[in-house]
Amino acid sequence: MAIGVFDSGVGGLTVHRRLVDRFPQADFIYLADQANAPYGPREGEHIVNLTRAGCERLFAEGCSLVVLACNTASGIALRRLQQTWLPSYRREIGRPVNVLGIIVPTIEAATGMPWEHEAERRGDKVEKLDVLAVFSTAATARSRVYEIEIDKRRQDVAVFSEPCPELAQMIEHGAGAVELATKVEEHVAAVTRRIGRAPHRAILGCTHYEIIADMFRAALKPGTPLIHQPEATADGLAAYLEKHPEYDPGSSSQRRFLTTGRPGAQNTLVETFWGAPLSFEQA
């Protein structure tokens, strides 16, 4: 058995890398749905169908668990798949399988609260002392998943989502550093204007952005803490596997990289981030 890691493209490699560091013996299969990327501009139903197809593919390859290393897929599709598809699919294939997302561990890291925690609703107005900017795809921003889930747990946090519609695709196509840094600066300036001050903290709420985290760091007020999804997701998976020994992560350190798009090497930006040659097989 193996752990599947799914993203619309190369962004989930940021998560994959942290998971591999944390579970070096486990077997991992990464699937990039590059034929259908970007997910950000797509409509909800389509994202649900594409995410289900990706999970099915990874389960067919022998995964017991799939980590959706994609905010857009996690925010839009995960709950639907857990409620309407997974129970019957499990019966059909006759073994335990599950799909985990990236939003839950990120919310836990951002709020310092376990997912199960719900803040007591206070009648009086709670002062918002902690201003959090979330940079994401348009679909994630539209879903308001970060605003809703953080507010349930911490009413003192004000969340401002900044949709960055072109950024994931620019990274996917290996745009140049100047072009990327300019785009990041524009988005940081836009959210800062909307808030009326610099955010206290920020979430890079699209896995692709972690590849250019340094550009966000440079554009934000110096010292602004970033909540890192790869780290949070690795913590979440460790806790999950501890509680659920029925999901076998494998033990032969197998690493496979599949794409629905063009197989072979990825662009220079991704190769530089990865730090070693990386070749994808056709899914």
203 - beta bridge partners? 134, 227
- Cβ nearer to ligand DGL, comparing 168 with 180: 168
208 counts as binding ligand DGL under rule CB under 6 A: yes
Q: How far apart are CA 189 and CA 238, in angstroms?
A: 36
Binding piece for ligand DGL, criterion CB under 6 A, among 5-13, 58-66, 121-129, 258-266: 5-13
- Cβ nearer to ligand DGL, comparing 18 with 208: 208
Residues 36-95, interacting with ligand DGL (CB under 6 A) = 37-40, 70-72
What's the one-letter identity of residue 161? S
Active-site residue flag, 70: yes
Contact 78, 68 (CB under 8 A): yes
Contact 135, 160 (CB under 8 A): no
Active-site residue flag, 63: no
Nearest to 11 by CA among 264, 230, 237, 275: 230
How does DSSP assign 168-185, residue by residue? Answer: HHHHHTT--HHHHHHHHH
Q: For the window 151-190, what string marks contact with ligand DGL as x by the rule CB under 6 A?
A: -----------------x----------------------
What is the nearest approach in angstroms of ligand DGL to the Cβ of residue 1?
A: 25
Q: State the catalytic residues.
A: 70, 206
Task: List contacts with ligand DGL (CB under 6 A).
Answer: 7-9, 11, 37-40, 70-72, 137, 140, 168, 206-208
